[in-house]
Structure 1
Amino acid sequence: MAGEPEPQRPKNHECLTRVPWLLLLLISLALFVLKLAILVQVSRIHGYPQGQTLDQQGSSSLDAVPHEQTHSSLEQIQHQLTQINASLAGLCRPCPWYWELFQGSCYLFSRTLGSWEASASACQALGAHLVIVNSIEEQRFLKFWHMRKNELTWIGLSDHRREGSWRWVDDTPLQLSFWREGEPNNDGDEDCVELGDDKWNDRRCTANNFWVCEKPSAPCPGH
């Protein structure tokens, strides 16, 4: 009727009409997220080796990392050991300090005097023995050092156990000799041998001389 006021709509009418649209929007968004998640999962599966599950791939990856790290660490250690061996080889001394190297043996020329027995004991205390001359080259080597110092020097030869039976300190018999002319003459119980000039001379074992110790040289790493 004219003049009558229009009936008022409920206040919540507008909100009620919006609910279906909001619900539809949320459902659509959820479906989109679900589809996206499925696509991502499928792409991952295709990226793994055929026949291998995600759990298997994850497990193998976890197992592979420590193995690769361990292998790399071992290679680094091996490389460091190689470098250390090379450094040691460069620093290696086949003979101790103050010893001289010649043809696989180390020689120590004493700086003090002593009897033949005391000299032999001093060499033994150093893990060596009084020098044993086995070749012309070794005799020349000793001669060179004798000429430098011009000192009478004990060598490891004597006949104090049995007169006339010359033997080295390792109990091997004398074969190659470099006696001075007229020697040995056993003048006054001369049972021990000294190096003088470039020849040998027998002398009393209680006399005081310098001496020469000899022992095998030590091998260097990698040799």
Structure 2
Amino acid sequence: MRVFNREREEHLHSLGCQDCERFITMLQLISIVLLAALLTAILVKGSEVPSSQEHDKEKQHILQKLDQLKAGLDHLCRPCPWDWTLFQGNCYFFSTFLKKWKESVIACQGMGAQLVVIKSHEEQSFLQRTCKKKGKAWMGLSDAKEEGQWLWVDGSRLQWRNYWSAKEPNNDGNEDCAIFSNGGWNDMSCLAESFWICKKPSWPCPK
């Protein structure tokens, strides 16, 4: 029953995100249709108004409306899906339920992302601070293929080791997957359940 409820929660969460994105897309399509209608009105008015002065005044009024519409479209643009957090050009999803490491990898892939791969000290600091508030969370780092050879899920090697907690990683009980803990990184059994973090690039918004 617990597994069924968790799968149902994940399914509803996925549908919720999809519905939000569809809603935003529909608003943008409606705005584009309105924009086309206003442009058509400019052409029609141009042929109906005899006075060039009145035509210029009407044109100026319509251009102001177009600027307002564009500002509204820019406001609608979200660089990240709902329930994701923006940081330095990337979107991060912090789960609200627990999974094993491999299940977390698959869950992120299902959302068009990957279990988080850390690329900078700033990113590490941001994620570590967030995990202190939300709880321990999986990252996309493992040495399951070869003990002591830590690889990210994108295939790249771990380039630094100073984020591990004291005396970690210690591989106590076949611990092959990395997790954010309170004091830094820790290695845990990949079969343990924890929160998890997904990462993907943000969407560009009009400037």
Superposition TM-score tier, normalisation by shorter sequence = 0.5 to 0.7
1:170 corresponding residue in structure 2: 154
How many angstroms apart in 1 are the aligned matches of 2:89 and 2:183? 22
Aligned CA-pair RMSD: 2.5
2:122 corresponding residue in structure 1: 137
2:167 paired with 1:182: yes
- Secondary structure of 2:171 counterpart: coil
Q: TM-score, normalised by structure 2?
A: 0.67
How many angstroms apart in 2 are the aligned matches of 1:134 and 1:95? 19
CA shift in 2, pair 1:216/1:66, >3 Å: closer
Q: In terms of Rg, which structure is larger? A: 1
- Secondary structure of 1:212 counterpart: strand
Q: Following TM superposition, by how much is the alpha carbon of 1:83 offset from its aligned partner in structure 2, in angstroms?
A: 3.6
Which of residues 47, 51, 57 is equivalent to 1:69? Answer: 47
Deviations 1:2-28 (A, max 9, x none): xxxxxxxxxxxxxxxxxxxxxxxxxxx
How many angstroms apart in 2 are the aligned matches of 1:69 and 1:211? 61
Q: What percent identity do the matched residue pairs reach?
A: 48
CA shift in 2, pair 1:198/1:91, >3 Å: farther
Q: Which amino acid aligns with 1:69?
A: S
How many angstroms apart in 1 are the aligned matches of 2:145 and 2:47? 69
2:193 paired with 1:205: no
> 1:84-95 alignment to 2 at 5 Å?
84-95=69-80
How many angstroms apart in 2 are the aligned matches of 1:117 and 1:188? 18
Q: Following TM superposition, by how much is the alpha carbon of 1:78 offset from its aligned partner in structure 2, in angstroms?
A: 7.0
CA shift in 2, pair 1:66/1:156, >3 Å: closer
- Structure 2 unaligned spans of 5+: 1-42, 49-54
- Structure 1 unaligned spans of 5+: 1-64
1:214 corresponding residue in structure 2: 199
**Residue 192 of structure 1 contacts residue 202 of structure 1 at CA under 8 Å; is this kept in 2?**
yes
2:82 corresponding residue in structure 1: 97
CA shift in 2, pair 1:165/1:76, >3 Å: farther
CA shift in 2, pair 1:75/1:158, >3 Å: farther
How many angstroms apart in 2 are the aligned matches of 1:175 and 1:218? 28
Q: TM-score, normalised by structure 1?
A: 0.63
Q: Following TM superposition, by how much is the alpha carbon of 1:183 offset from its aligned partner in structure 2, in angstroms?
A: 1.2
How many angstroms apart in 1 are the aligned matches of 2:45 and 2:92? 52
